[in-house]
């Protein structure tokens, strides 16, 4: 039997004259509180609108109306009268449970499909639960004794409560439990976002009013603005095969944008203009099919700010016309990791024309149980998603990621563009059964494009120690050397800096604002043909528009090597650039790269391909690294955590909490550390220090430019000693003059003289 109501008093007389409220306002009379019935109606309406994007409005409407039924209990109303606070955190500090009642009522209304709504309703504050577990779970919530609520609800004279929306309307016809669990999470997203927004509208109308609003034709305006820029760039471009081919890529993207929504592939070599051309395709495609937004997913946090800045410059004319900034930048550098008032206020729900985010944020949100991360998911529906360097998905999570992408495309009106410099490695084929199907290539003849844009010769130097590499770098006036780890980059730079007058270092141990400053100086020297030696980690490989005549690359996968080649002779100013591969002396410290580097070395060692970066060689590489690794496609068993059983008490056994914990695109994402670098970084940190309240969204966004991530063990060993936790949640480096170099970034080992910041 699902649920028991506890009746602690005779409700007959007590409920006759009681009006139920959803939220109170401290120090304000009841007449100004939010009526519970109004809240339920508004959340129901808003959630239904959100789910209408994927044809499931009635499901979300029902979830919205049921979600706070427990607030009709006398216990909750008395609690509301006695206190005020954040009722989106009911499961902490002994607050009254008001979500279980709605979950139980959903199951009573429909004993089978009601469980789908029960997951969403029971978790709309604390998060989606596992079906069965030793801790909190849906099974326990459905048999939990709850406070009696129906008497007061019936006295509200609510027609909606007596004639409930039919949860069988638009019922799911897909028997795949993974698909049903995905649907549950999408309904959960609609419910959570609607609940937060309506609560915010009542509790904080000023903030709610500050949410930007865009006209219905904003994507059309953005498309026109981008086209004006691209046409000007093509008109003024230097003559040559590279710019000629970039123009062709842009034209074919525009021409193919009218195709029906679904999966697309944009296969263009590095330096071929993928970034803006893919955006042109997405905007034209969205306008043609009335899609609502573009989501640009970038594999590395280290370059998201750069791409977002490129897009902001593109759309700057719209801001001068009075439009809000259409570009929303969202990644996880500042992430408290727990649900708080402050984190909820700054969490984006992706209700904007152009979202620029990371692969970690995108995929981990798709498998999260947390309200703050799931809130935005419904806004992925009815959109265009560009997956930059789509082949960077880890082998161990391929199956769940590709299933999620397929569902978005097939059931949620989402067009997905696989944007890659190598080839669409995640497309289905005979030896890759889980791959994506019905993928249409945007470029008519990728082979010809690769042939025309080949402008680098690859040479294999074999094993080289650091001293040998430094000697070789001295032979070049302008040279880039890319290695696999931060430690190797720092140690190699220390050797180089004594030999070179103009040496630069780039790694994720430097905050984004610092890296941007260094990149600007590097580009200036390259443009003036001045000496320039750069030692970098792989962060320079994706999306960084930089052009060296010579590049050295520590052995890696062919996709990474192709990215390195994209920083060499990028604009075709030489007849042929040179890319030198080497096997470093630091291979023991590069275990993370062993699989990809091993597969890359194996393909190169065969000597079968005249162009080791051609499509045939890259296909061979992906066969070794991706397609023959079936036992690893779902190493953590993510897909197997969603099941259906013949049990009316709990027919859907979904492990949302467990999956949220296990699904990590990067095994150790580290902990954030704010660096007071330069004048702006110092001022921002001082603002945190003197502020007596949580930071606003604009300040948090600004802080992302001064935040790095470091391993958890390193963070924990230096907290209190070298890291100060301001306002109990903002970790700031205490003494940058001791531990942050203006050349190499963060260093706690005192192995180099740290230069004073300028």
Please state the three-class secondary structure of 542-603 as a single string. CCCCCCECEEEEECCCHHHHHHHHCCECCCCCCCCEEEEEEECCCHHHHHHHHHHHHHHHHH
∠ CA 251-311-278, nearest 5°, is 30
Write the pLDDT tens digit of every residue in 253-270: 999 999 999 999 998 887
Residue 546: the pLDDT is 86
What would the pLDDT profile of 385-407 be if each residue is shown by its tens digit? 999 988 888 889 999 999 999 99
Task: Say what the pLDDT of residue 668 is.
Answer: 61
- For the chain, the straight-line distance linking the first and the last C-alpha, in angstroms and rounded, comes to 69
User: Which domains, from first to last, does the chain contain?
Assistant: 4-210 (1.10.3210), 218-450 (3.40.50.300), 455-613 (3.40.50.300), 671-746 (no CATH)
Q: What angle do CA 37, 41, 45 make, to 5 degrees?
A: 170
What percent of the chain stands above pLDDT 70?
A: 87
Give the best-scoring range by mean pLDDT among 293-297, 429-433, 507-511.
Answer: 293-297
Q: What is the largest distance, in Å, between two alpha-carbon atoms of the chain? A: 93
Residue 157 above 70 pLDDT? no
Take residue 538 and report the two structure tokens written for it: 């792989």
pLDDT tens for 528-557 read: 999 999 999 988 886 677 889 999 999 988
Q: How far apart are the C-alpha atoms of 350 and 377, rounded to whole Å?
A: 8
Q: How many helices (H) and strands (E) does the chain have?
A: 32, 25
Asked if the model's pLDDT at residue 127 lies above 80, the reply is yes
User: Is the pLDDT confidence value at 6 over 70?
Assistant: no
Enter the tokens of residue 453: 């844009």
pLDDT of residue 573: 75
DSSP state of 377: G
Asked if the model's pLDDT at residue 752 lies above 70, the reply is: no
- Enumerate residues 6+ apart whose C-beta is below 8 A from 360: 301, 331, 332, 665, 666, 669
CA distance 642 to 652: 8
Mean pLDDT of 211-224: 92
Confidence band for 342, pLDDT divided at 50, 70 and 90:
very low
pLDDT recorded at residue 177: 93
Residue 571, pLDDT above cutoff 80:
no
- Give the pair of three-digit tokens for residue 739: 């531990």
Q: Does 452 have pLDDT greater than 90? A: no
pLDDT for residue 102: 96
Average pLDDT for 27-37: 91
Structure tokens at 719: 């907290």
Question: Count of CB atoms within 10 A of residue 528's CB?
Answer: 8
Supply φ then ψ for residue 728, to 5 degrees.
65, 15
Range with the poorest average pLDDT among 65-74, 647-656, 724-733: 724-733
Q: How far apart are CA 655 and CA 386, in angstroms?
A: 29
| Range in 16-30, 265-279, 587-601 the model is least confident about | 587-601
Q: Which of 33-47, 150-164, 564-578, 743-757 has the lowest mean pLDDT?
A: 743-757
pLDDT at 338: 34
Instruction: Mention every residue, 6+ apart, whose C-beta is less than 8 A from residue 680.
Output: 513, 702, 705, 706
pLDDT of 667 reads 67
pLDDT surpasses 90 at 41: yes
Quote the mean pLDDT of the chain: 85
pLDDT of residue 700: 76
Looking at residue 757, its pLDDT comes to 29
Spell out the SS3 assignment of 282-304.
Answer: HHHHHHHHCCCCEEEEECCHHHH
Q: Which of the 8 DSSP states describes residue 385? A: E
State the pLDDT at residue 330: 76
> Residue 513 is encoded by which pair of tokens?
């604002």
Give dist(CA 700, CA 331) in Å, integer: 11
């Amino acid at each position: 039997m699902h649920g028991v109501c506890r009746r602690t008093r005779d409700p007959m007389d007590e409920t006759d004259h009681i009006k139920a409220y959803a939220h109170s306002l401290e120090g304000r009379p009841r007449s100004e509180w939010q009526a519970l019935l109004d809240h339920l109606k508004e959340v129901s309406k808003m959630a239904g609108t959100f789910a209408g994007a994927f044809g499931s409005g009635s499901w979300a409407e029902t979830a919205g109306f049921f979600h706070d039924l427990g607030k009709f209990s006398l216990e909750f109303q008395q609690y509301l009268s006695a206190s005020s606070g954040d009722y989106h955190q009911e499961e902490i500090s002994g607050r009254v449970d008001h979500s279980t009642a709605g979950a139980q009522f959903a199951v009573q209304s429909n004993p089978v499909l009601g469980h789908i709504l029960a997951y969403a309703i029971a978790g709309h504050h604390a998060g989606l639960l596992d079906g069965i577990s030793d801790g909190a779970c849906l099974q326990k919530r459905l048999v939990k004794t709850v406070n009696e609520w129906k008497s007061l609800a019936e006295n509200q004279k609510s027609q909606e409560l007596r004639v409930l929306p039919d949860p069988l309307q638009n019922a799911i016809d897909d028997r795949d439990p993974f698909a049903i669990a995905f649907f549950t999470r999408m309904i959960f997203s609609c419910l959570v976002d609607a609940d937060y927004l309506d609560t915010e509208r009542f509790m904080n109308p000023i903030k709610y009013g500050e949410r930007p609003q865009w006209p219905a034709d904003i994507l059309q305006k953005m498309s026109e603005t981008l086209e004006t820029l691209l046409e000007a760039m093509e008109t003024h471009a230097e003559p040559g095969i590279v710019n000629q081919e970039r123009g062709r890529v842009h034209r074919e993207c525009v021409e193919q944008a009218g195709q029906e929504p679904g999966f697309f592939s944009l296969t263009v070599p590095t330096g071929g203009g993928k970034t803006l051309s893919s955006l042109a395709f997405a905007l034209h495609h969205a306008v043609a099919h009335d899609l609502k937004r573009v989501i640009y997913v970038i594999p590395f946090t280290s370059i998201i700010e750069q791409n977002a800045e490129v897009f902001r410059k593109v759309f700057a004319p719209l801001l001068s016309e009075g439009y809000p900034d259409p570009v929303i930048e969202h990644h996880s550098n500042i992430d408290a990791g727990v649900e708080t008032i402050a984190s909820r206020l700054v969490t984006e729900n992706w209700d904007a024309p152009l979202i620029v985010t990371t692969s970690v944020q995108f995929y981990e949100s798709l498998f999260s149980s947390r309200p703050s991360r799931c809130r935005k998911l419904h806004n992925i529906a009815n959109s265009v998603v560009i997956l930059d360097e789509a082949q960077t998905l880890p082998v161990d999570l391929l199956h769940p990621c590709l299933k999620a992408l397929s569902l978005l495309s097939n059931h949620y009106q989402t067009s997905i563009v696989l944007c890659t410099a190598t080839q669409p490695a995640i497309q289905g084929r005979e030896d890759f059964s889980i791959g994506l199907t019905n993928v249409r290539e945007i470029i008519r003849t990728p082979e010809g494009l690769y042939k025309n844009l080949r402008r680098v010769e690859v040479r294999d130097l074999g094993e080289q120690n650091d001293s040998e590499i430094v000697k070789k770098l001295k032979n070049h006036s302008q040279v880039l050397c890319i290695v696999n780890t931060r430690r190797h980059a720092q140690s190699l730079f220390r050797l180089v800096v004594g030999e070179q007058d103009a040496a630069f270092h780039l790694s994720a141990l430097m905050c984004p604002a610092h890296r941007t400053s260094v990149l600007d100086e590097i580009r200036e020297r390259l443009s003036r043909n001045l000496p320039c030696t750069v030692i970098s980690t792989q962060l320079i490989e994706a999306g960084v528009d930089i052009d060296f005549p010579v590049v050295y690359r520590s052995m890696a996968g062919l996709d990474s090597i192709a990215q390195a080649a994209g920083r060499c002779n990028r604009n075709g100013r030489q007849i042929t650039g040179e890319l030198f591969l080497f096997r470093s002396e630091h291979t023991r410290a590069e275990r993370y790269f062993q699989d990809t580097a091993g597969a890359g070395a194996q393909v190169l060692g065969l000597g079968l391909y005249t162009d080791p970066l051609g499509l045939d060689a890259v296909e061979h590489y992906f066969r070794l690294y991706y397609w023959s690794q079936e036992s690893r496609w779902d190493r953590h068993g993510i897909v197997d955590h969603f099941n259906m059983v013949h049990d009316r008490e709990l027919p859907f056994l979904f492990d949302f909490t467990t999956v949220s914990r296990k699904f990590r695109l990067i095994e150790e994402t580290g902990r954030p550390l704010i660096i007071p670098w330069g004048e702006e970084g110092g001022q921002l940190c001082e603002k945190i220090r003197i502020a007596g309240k949580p930071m606003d969204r604009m300040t948090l966004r600004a802080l992302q430019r001064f935040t790095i991530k470091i391993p958890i063990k390193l963070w924990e060993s230096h907290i209190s000693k070298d890291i100060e936790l301001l306002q109990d949640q903002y970790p700031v480096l205490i003494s940058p003059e001791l531990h942050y170099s203006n050349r190499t970034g963060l260093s706690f080992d005192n192995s180099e003289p740290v230069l004073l910041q300028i």
